[in-house]
Amino acid sequence: MCGIVGYIGPKEKKEILLDGLQELEYRGYDSAGIAIIEGKKLHNFKAIGKLKNLREKTKNYTSEGFGISIGHTRWATHGKPTELNAHPHLGAYSYVVHNGIIENYQELKEELQAEGVNFLSQTDTETIVHLFEKYHNRSNDAFPAFKETIERLEGAYGILLITEAAPDMIFFAKNGSPMLIGFDNEDVYFASSDTPLIGKAKEVYYLEDGEYGYVKDGQVHLFNKNEEIGFTKQTLTADKALAQKDGYRFFMEKEIYEQSRVMGETMMGRVLDDGIALDELDKDFFEDINAIKICACGTSYHSALTSAYLFERIAKIRCDIEIASEFRYKEPLLTGDTLFITISQSGETADTLEALKMAKRAGLKSLSICNVDNSSIVRESDAAILTRAGIEKGVASTKAFATQTMVLWMLALYVGQERNSISSDILRQEIDAMLHTPKALIVTDKLHAKLHRLSKRYLHGHGFFFIGRDIFFPLALEGALKLKEISYLHAEGYPAGEMKHGPIALADSELFTIALMPKTMHYDKIKSNVEELSARDATICAISPEPFDLADDFVQTQYSSHPMVEFFEMMVVTQLLALEISIRLGNDVDMPRNLAKSVTVE
Ligand code: F6R
């Protein structure tokens, strides 16, 4: 979703901003812009579409000497993706970039309009810059004017503001949208996530909600409420090489191939010979806990759904799953003996973060399962287990889903072990299956070639049904989500046993059924569900170790002794199928239309 970068110092600023925005590109955006002030000179460039359009517009410009600069990639919320709506937004002599949503912008806009201010865009952001200039015109003092501005804003924001009135300062504020400051000697950088700062800043400080301030003469002045406060920097350790494509056509493809390796990292030090060790959790973490509630969105929600089967079956603990955006407004009944788990790849998903805050207000203990350390969700939780998937750049989540599901499986075993609801024999069998998972995730040339070949038969039709039972139902949901995200074809996930309660009415030869038919779990049941579809002439693509006569297409997986191993192998098949269909349709696999990697607005 929207991305912010900023820099104050003597270096060439255009390239710093454009490079930074490039690193945020994978999050999804539909326009971009930069603004630079060097002494009395103001420069502002905006372009709709991809960053290459902005590069083209700025190709004859290079910044000179000391200056202040901000940049932004915008994912449209208020107003269409047009140049006028793109950030930075200009007042008479100041620019602002903003992530989040200013909830009271209509009221502020009307107030400013009544005072004669002319608005150029339809955005909520533009009110910030006009409000700032209103206060600055009165006091002629930039920082108090900025502070007064922030005090008027309601909602979520990460803000950078620069003004000709103070050409040696950058003003910043954070509330609900991520923002960090990067340091390299006297050079100071800003970004809405750490990737743009890798290779530039040596140390970083992650701003907390309610913090604001300014940078001048290489010094950051940080405030909370009315007090100037101190802060502690952290070393920025991420390795940029990990975020490159390594010869794969798309990040999503690379990330599918990486799953086998990263799964080893997810398990490292946690999956032991005779038990599960989660050093992240205090010994008594599950004391007084009698139920689990999990909140998440999208793919993360699907991993949560999978885990509900595991928590109840293995750990014998009640487990409810909720979509975060639904949970927030349903006035849920929460009891103190419930552990509240959030799952998020990015750790910044607005609905999940707000659900977590609600649960905390209700006094629940919280745990997050997340891929990004120091993200808002991790910082907000009582404890966090990191998935260790590495940076995921493809908008369609793959390795994040795999590692989330693995962590949840480990957690189910851990709970069983701590509550003595699992025998040591079963625990050992589960661990043995876990250790087979990396092998099940290997993408062989044969498998990839098979999915490439098959994909050409699935480029039309009036829809896909992915069907499965038990844990293969959430996998069916996830397979359908992957396909629709990057192919733009209609796909649904369904519990196989539900088809005859309605959806089977759609069955004909143009209805494609992707049937997940594991041998270790309810094979005969799902077989008869698929037979019912076949009898109505639906086109069947069966994924199973067991050859199936009625399949029009058949992808054979390995025989295995554990459903979770079959689960992970079938997951790879569905990911590759979506990838190959999308490539054949000529779509942008890594940045599908209308989607954002990190959904930081409600
Ligand atoms: C789908 C996808 C999304 C995310 C969802 C939640 O491929 O990536 O559905 O899973 O937006 O995001 P996180 O996990 O970052 O909270």
Q: Is 213 in the pocket of ligand 1 (CB under 6 A)?
A: no
Q: Is 175 in the pocket of ligand 1 (CB under 6 A)?
A: no
Q: Which atom of ligand 1 has the smallest separation from the CA of 596?
A: 11
Question: Under a CB-based contact definition with an 8 Å cutoff, are residues 258 and 442 in contact?
Answer: no
Output the CA 297–ligand 1 centroid distance in Å: 6
Q: Is 557 in the pocket of ligand 1 (CB under 6 A)?
A: no
User: Would the CATH topology of 3-244 be identical to that of 251-431?
Assistant: no
Which residue CA neighbors atom 10 of ligand 1 most closely?
299
3-state DSSP of 351-415: HHHHHHHHHHHCCCEEEEEECCCCCHHHHHCCEEEECCCCCCCCCCCCHHHHHHHHHHHHHHHHH
Q: Is 560 in the pocket of ligand 1 (CB under 6 A)?
A: no
Cα-based angle 259, 264, 267 (whole degrees, multiple of 5):
120
Strand partners, 89: 96
Q: How many CB atoms lie within 10 A of CB 520?
A: 16
Q: Which atom of ligand 1 has the smallest separation from the CA of 302?
A: 10
Rounded-to-integer distance, Cα 45 and Cα 429, Å: 60
The H or E element spanning position 553 is strand 553-556
Q: Which of 393, 399, 484, 597 is catalytic?
A: 597
Choose the residue to mutate in 1, 251, 346, 593 for probing ligand 1, maximizing ligand atoms within 8 Å of C-beta: 346
Superfamily of domain 3-244: Aminohydrolase, N-terminal nucleophile (Ntn) domain (3.60.20.10)
pLDDT of residue 77: 73
Output the CA 29–ligand 1 centroid distance in Å: 16
Q: Is 303 in the pocket of ligand 1 (CB under 6 A)?
A: no
- SS3 of 1, please? coil
Nearest to 468 by CA among 504, 401, 506, 517: 517
Tell me which residue has tokens 């959790």: 281
Query: Order of strands across the sheet with 291-296?
Result: 318-323, 291-296, 338-344, 365-370, 383-386
Q: Is 353 in the pocket of ligand 1 (CB under 6 A)?
A: no
Query: Order of strands across the sheet with 511-516?
Result: 491-495, 463-468, 511-516, 539-544, 553-556
pLDDT of residue 597: 78
Q: Is 342 in the pocket of ligand 1 (CB under 6 A)?
A: no
Output the CA 47–ligand 1 centroid distance in Å: 27
The H or E element spanning position 513 is strand 511-516
Strand partners, 222: 213, 229
Rounded-to-integer distance, Cα 318 and Cα 309, Å: 10
Output the CA 595–ligand 1 centroid distance in Å: 10
Is residue 597 among the annotated active site residues? yes
- SS3 of 428, please? helix
Q: For 465-500, give one letter per residue: b (16+ CB within 10 A) or e.
A: bbbbbbbbbbbbbbbbbbbbbbbebebbbbbbeebe
pLDDT of residue 240: 61
- Domain range 251-431, CATH class: alpha beta
Amino acid type, 171: F
Output the CA 25–ligand 1 centroid distance in Å: 16
Q: Is the dihedral of CA 282, 286, 288, 292 positive or negative?
A: positive
pLDDT of residue 425: 95
Rounded-to-integer distance, Cα 3 and Cα 556, Å: 42
Choose the residue to mutate in 398, 403, 571, 599 for probing ligand 1, maximizing ligand atoms within 8 Å of C-beta: 599
DSSP-derived secondary structure letter, 557:
P
Q: Cite the DSSP H helix spans in 362-394.
A: 376-380
Is residue 2 among the annotated active site residues? yes
Question: Under a CB-based contact definition with an 8 Å cutoff, are residues 24 and 5 in contact?
Answer: yes
Output the CA 300–ligand 1 centroid distance in Å: 6
Question: Under a CB-based contact definition with an 8 Å cutoff, are residues 427 and 325 in contact?
Answer: no
Strand partners, 173: 159, 212
Q: Following DSSP, what letter does each residue of 281-306 receive, concatenated?
A: S-TTTTTT--EEEEEE-HHHHHHHHH
Q: Is 387 in the pocket of ligand 1 (CB under 6 A)?
A: no
pLDDT of residue 460: 87
Rounded-to-integer distance, Cα 77 and Cα 102, Å: 11
Rounded-to-integer distance, Cα 93 and Cα 549, Å: 72
Q: Which atom of ligand 1 has the smallest separation from the CA of 297?
A: 6
Output the CA 301–ligand 1 centroid distance in Å: 8
Amino acid type, 372: V
Output the CA 369–ligand 1 centroid distance in Å: 13
Nearest to 325 by CA among 364, 297, 293: 297
Choose the residue to mutate in 349, 399, 475 for probing ligand 1, maximizing ligand atoms within 8 Å of C-beta: 349
Rounded-to-integer distance, Cα 48 and Cα 253, Å: 27
Is the omega angle on the peptide bond into residue 88 within 30 degrees of 0, that is, cis? yes
pLDDT in tens, 120-136: 998 999 999 999 999 99
- SS3 of 275, please? coil
Domain ranges of the chain: 3-244, 251-431, 445-584
Token pair of 35 as six digits:
């603004």
Rounded-to-integer distance, Cα 228 and Cα 405, Å: 43
Q: Is 349 in the pocket of ligand 1 (CB under 6 A)?
A: yes
Nearest to 598 by CA among 195, 241, 240, 322: 195
The H or E element spanning position 224 is strand 219-224
pLDDT of residue 50: 87
Q: Is 297 in the pocket of ligand 1 (CB under 6 A)?
A: yes
Q: Which residues contact 212 (CB under 8 A, 6 or more apart)?
A: 146, 147, 150, 171, 172, 173, 174, 222, 223, 224
- SS3 of 318, please? strand
Which residue CA neighbors atom 3 of ligand 1 most closely?
298
Q: Is 306 in the pocket of ligand 1 (CB under 6 A)?
A: no
**Separation of first and last alpha carbons in the chain:** 12
- Domain range 445-584, CATH class: alpha beta
Output the CA 298–ligand 1 centroid distance in Å: 5
Amino acid type, 77: T
pLDDT in tens, 325-371: 999 999 999 999 999 999 999 999 999 999 999 999 999 999 999 99
Output the CA 323–ligand 1 centroid distance in Å: 12
pLDDT of residue 103: 86
Which residue CA neighbors atom 11 of ligand 1 most closely?
298
Rounded-to-integer distance, Cα 193 and Cα 549, Å: 51
Q: Is 396 in the pocket of ligand 1 (CB under 6 A)?
A: yes
Q: Which residues contact 170 (CB under 8 A, 6 or more apart)?
A: 6, 8, 68, 70, 160, 161, 162, 188, 190, 214, 215
Q: Is the dihedral of CA 359, 361, 362, 365 positive or negative?
A: positive
The H or E element spanning position 156 is strand 155-163
Q: Is 599 in the pocket of ligand 1 (CB under 6 A)?
A: yes
Rounded-to-integer distance, Cα 597 and Cα 25, Å: 9
Q: Is 372 in the pocket of ligand 1 (CB under 6 A)?
A: no
Could you say which residues of the chain have pLDDT below 70?
A: 1, 26-28, 237-244, 246
Q: Is 300 in the pocket of ligand 1 (CB under 6 A)?
A: yes
Choose the residue to mutate in 297, 302, 601 for probing ligand 1, maximizing ligand atoms within 8 Å of C-beta: 297
